[in-house]
């Protein structure tokens, strides 16, 4: 079996049939999460309905955990789901960051730090693809970082939309979550780069042999 075939081979409970499914409940949740991205941008940037935008962000962050739990619980882990879930996570994070930066909810250095990590990961994925490997499996550190960021965003928006004690408390909680999320996001990125480097070295040794 080629490296590409091994990298793209379906995984998860239920064997090949489960891994190849498209119409599953977890995938449906992921599709709905994707639709939530443009809805959030419209609410936050066009009509400036901050309360509704907070609700959309909160649902998007919560459903990130729900779809994975349902997939494992029902044995509906699929290759499509493994691709959709991190895609939805990244779109939520990037869309929220750009929207928050545009309305000055978060400073641009914070946004730049997260975008730099995404560029690093895209470069690693391009290198892996060139050597016949698919995307690496999502690490729990990366999932934890994503959870912290998705939890921080609605809290930061709440801080920006309110005043007095509520705003101060929400800002403290939100930025605590956000900075921990940023640190773990970079830790996960470094782990992916190390994993990619090992795979590339192994591929080159195989060619040389």
Structure confidence by residue, pLDDT tens digits, 82-102: 777 778 888 888 888 999 999
> 129: which 2 tokens?
């693809």
Residue-level pLDDT at 207: 63
pTM: 0.73
pLDDT of residue 6: 41
- Give residue 143's pLDDT: 84
Domain ranges, residue 83 = 3-208
Q: How confident is the model at residue 110 (pLDDT cuts 50, 70, 90)?
A: very high
Tokens 């042999």 -> residue: 209
CATH of the domain at 98: 1.20.120
Distance CA 185, CA 188 (A): 5
Q: What is the pLDDT of residue 115?
A: 92
Long-range contacts from 30-34, C-beta under 8 angstroms, 24+ separation: 30/67, 30/81, 30/84, 30/85, 30/88, 31/84, 32/63, 33/60, 33/63, 33/64, 33/67, 33/88, 33/92, 34/84, 34/87, 34/88, 34/91
The model's pLDDT over 134-183, given as tens digits with 9 standing for 90+, comes to: 777 777 898 899 889 988 988 998 888 887 788 889 999 999 999 999 99
Count of C-beta atoms within a 10 Å radius of residue 107: 10
Query: Does the pLDDT value for residue 124 go beyond 70?
Result: yes
Q: Considering its fold, how many domains does the chain have in total?
A: 1
| Tens-digit pLDDT profile for residues 9-61 | 434 444 444 555 667 777 787 888 888 899 999 999 999 888 888 888 888 87
100: Cα separation from own chain's centroid = 17
Please determine, for residue 119, whether its predicted confidence score (pLDDT) is greater than 80. yes
pLDDT band at 63 (very low <50, low <70, confident <90, very high): confident
SS3 of 3-69: the string is HHHHHHCCCCCCHHHHHCCCCCHHHHHHHHHHHHHHHHHHHHHHCCCHHHHHHHHHHHHHHHHHHHH
């Amino acid at each position: 079996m080629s490296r590409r075939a091994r990298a793209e081979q379906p995984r998860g409970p239920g064997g090949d049939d489960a891994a190849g499914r498209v119409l599953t409940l977890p995938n449906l949740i992921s599709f709905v999460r994707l639709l939530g991205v443009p809805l959030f941008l419209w609410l936050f940037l066009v009509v400036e309905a901050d309360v509704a935008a907070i609700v959309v962000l909160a649902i998007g962050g919560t459903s990130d955990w729900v779809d994975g739990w349902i997939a494992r619980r029902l044995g509906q882990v699929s290759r499509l789901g493994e691709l959709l879930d991190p895609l939805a996570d990244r779109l939520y994070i990037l869309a929220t960051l750009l929207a928050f930066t545009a309305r000055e909810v978060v400073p641009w250095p914070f946004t730049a730090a997260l975008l730099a990590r995404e560029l690093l990961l895209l470069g690693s994925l391009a290198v892996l693809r060139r050597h016949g490997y698919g995307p690496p499996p999502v690490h729990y550190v990366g999932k934890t970082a994503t959870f912290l960021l998705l939890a921080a965003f609605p809290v930061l928006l709440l801080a920006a939309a309110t005043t007095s004690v509520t705003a101060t408390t929400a800002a403290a909680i939100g930025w605590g979550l956000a900075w921990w999320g940023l640190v773990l996001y970079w830790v996960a990125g470094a782990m992916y780069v190390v994993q990619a480097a090992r795979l590339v070295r192994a591929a080159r040794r195989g060619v040389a042999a």
